[in-house]
Amino acid sequence: MPMIPSRSFNAALTRRAYWLAVFLPLLLPLGWLMRDAPGIGWLSTWLIPLSLYLLLPVADAVLGRDVSDPPQHPRSRTGDTMVLCCAAASWALVLGWALVVISQSPAQFGAGTLTGFTLSLINLGGVIAINVAHELIHRRSQWQRTLGALLLSAVCFPCFKLVHPRWHHAKVATADDPSSAPRGSNVYWRAPRAWWLNTRRGFLLAAGDARRRGRPAWLNEMVGWYVLSLSLVLVILMALGPLAAALFVVQGLGAALLLEVINYVEHYGLRRAPEHDTRPSLQHSWDSSFWLSNALLLQLPRHADHHVNPGRPYPELHRSETAPQLPVTYSLAVLLALLPPLWWRLMHGRLPAEEHASGCDAHPTR
C-alpha cells in the first residue's frame, strides 16, 4: 500500500480516539432504531460488520499510519483505565439489550437480520470484550484482572486469563504455542485447533496452581470461571428463553474463534528457536501502525512491543519499525486470512528470509 500517508498524530487526539471502543457497541441499538427507515430493513443489524470491514479500512487508508510514539513522561493512567471500564460496561449493556430484544421480538428477525445481529455480537465480543479483557489481565491490580476474567466468562473463554500471559507469551512463535501459526497453515484448521488446545491448557495450568496450593486438581480457578459461564447460559435460558441463550453461546464461541483468527494474523509464519531465544523479540509479531484501527483496538496492533513488554499499558506501547509490518490494516487482514490462497500470496513474500526459505513446520493444507 505505497500511497498510504504516514504522519505524527497528536497524543491528546489519540487519547480521545480510544473512546471509540466505548461507542462502537452502540451502533447495534442505533441500527435497530433505524430498521423501519426507508431502504434500511435488514441492513440495520449490519452496521458493525460494515464499519469494521468496509469503512475502517477505507478510513485507515485516508488517515494513514501513525509514526509517533507516546510521550516520554506518560500522564496518569486513571483516564486510560476508565476507557477500559466504560468499554466493558458499554459492551455488557448492549449484549444484555440484544438478548432481551431477540427474546421479545423473534418475529422481526429474518435470515439477513439475524445473521447481521449475530455477526455484530460476535465482532463486539472479539473486538471489545476480549480486547479489553486482554488489557486487564496484564494489569497488576487484582480487581482489574478479575474484571478481565468476568468479561472472558461472558464470552465463554475464561481460559484466556491464564493461557495468554503464562503460555502464549512464553511460547509465542514456537510450535508449542497453538496460537502461533506456521507458514502455509490454514486458518480454518488453526483457529479451532488453537481454541481447543488453549482451553485444555487453561485447565492444566489451573490444576497445577490448585495442587501447589494444596487443593484437589479439579478444584481450580478455571472450573469456577466456566461454572460462571454455564450459570449465565442457564439464567438467560430461564429468563429469556432458548433463542436468547443460543445467541449468547454463539456470540461467545464466535468471539473466541475471532480471537484465534486475530492471533493467526498477528504471528503468522514467524518462528524462533526457544533453545536460543529465551524471550521473544520484536521479530516474532506482525506490527501495524494505522492510526484509526490502533485507537479503536487500544493499540493491540502495536503487537511487537506488547510481546517484548507485556506489562506496558496500551497508551504507552511503541511502534516497532524493525518488526515485520502487516501490509494491510487489521480488519482487512482478518478478511484475507479467511481466504487462504490470497492470504498466502500476500504474506509469504514478506516473511523473514529464514522462515520463507525453510517453511518451518507448516502443513500447507492445515
In this structure, are residues 58 and 64 in contact, taking their beta carbons and an 8 Å threshold? no
pLDDT, greater one: 175 or 279 = 175
Within a 10 A sphere around the Cβ of 86, how many other Cβ atoms? 16
Tens-digit pLDDT profile for residues 285-329: 999 999 999 999 999 999 999 999 999 999 999 998 899 999 999
The whole-angstrom separation of Cα 6 and Cα 16 is 20
Contacting residues for 242 by C-beta, under 8 A, at least 6 apart: none
pLDDT above 90 as % of the chain: 84
Dihedral sign for Cα atoms in the order 180, 200, 195, 226: negative
**What's the pLDDT band for 363 if we cut at 50, 70, 90?**
very low
Q: How many domains does the chain have?
A: 1
Residue 364: pLDDT over 50: no
| CA–CA distances in Å: residue 306 to residues 169, 249, 319 | 10, 30, 10
Name residues whose C-beta falls within 8 Å of residue 89's C-beta, 6 or more positions apart in sequence: none
| pLDDT, tens digit, 9 for 90 and up, residues 253-290 | 999 999 999 999 999 999 988 666 678 899 999 999 99
Among 338, 331, 307, smallest CA distance to 59 is for 331
Contact 353/315 with Cβ under 8 angstroms?
no
Q: Is residue 101 part of a domain?
A: yes
Kindly list the distances between the CA atom of residue 326 and the CA atoms of 70, 200, 280, 286, in Å, as whole numbers in the listed order: 21, 30, 18, 6
Residue 289 to residue 300: CA distance in whole angstroms: 10
Kindly report the backbone phi and psi dihedral angles of residue 6, in degrees, each rounded to the nearest multiple of 5, phi listed first. -125, 135
Domain assignment present for 363: no
Residue 365 located in a structural domain: no
Q: For residue 98, which of 84, 118, 112, 126 has the smallest C-alpha distance?
A: 118
pLDDT for residue 354: 57
Instruction: Give a yes or no: residue 94 inside a domain.
Output: yes
Which pLDDT value is given to residue 131? 97
Residue 234 lies in a domain: yes
The whole domain housing 50 covers: 6-358
Q: Distance between CA atoms of 194 and 260, rounded to whole angstroms?
A: 7
pLDDT tens digits along 37-62: 887 888 899 999 999 999 999 999 99
- Within 13 Å and on the Cβ side, how many CA atoms surround 153? 19
Give the torsion sign (CA, 54, 295, 81, 311): positive
CA-to-CA distance for 118 and 115, rounded, in angstroms? 5
Residue 364 lies in a domain: no
- Specify the pLDDT at position 169: 95
- For residue 51 the three cell numbers come to 464499519
304 neighbors 282 (Cβ within 8 angstroms): yes
Contact 90, 128 (CB under 8 A): yes
> Angle, to 10 degrees, between the axis of helix 187-212 and the axis of helix 242-267?
100
Mean pLDDT of the chain: 92
The whole-angstrom separation of Cα 218 and Cα 203 is 9
What pLDDT shows up at residue 97? 98
**Is 106 inside any structural domain?**
yes
Q: Is the pLDDT of residue 358 over 60?
A: no
* Long-range contacts (CB closer than 8 Å, 24 or more residues apart) made by 203-207: 203/159, 205/162, 205/163, 205/166, 205/167, 206/162
Q: Is residue 357 pLDDT above 70, yes or no?
A: no
pLDDT at 360: 42
E strand intervals along the chain: 6-7, 65-66
| pTM as predicted | 0.93
Residue 350 belongs to some domain of the structure: yes
At 277, list the grid cell.
531465544
- The count of residues in the chain is 366
Nine cell digits for residue 287: 506490527
- Please tell me the predicted confidence (pLDDT) of residue 275: 63
Q: What is the pLDDT of residue 276?
A: 63
List the one residue out of 312, 346, 313 whose CA is nearest residue 329: 346
| pLDDT band (50, 70, 90) for residue 1 | very low
Share of the chain above pLDDT 70, in %: 94
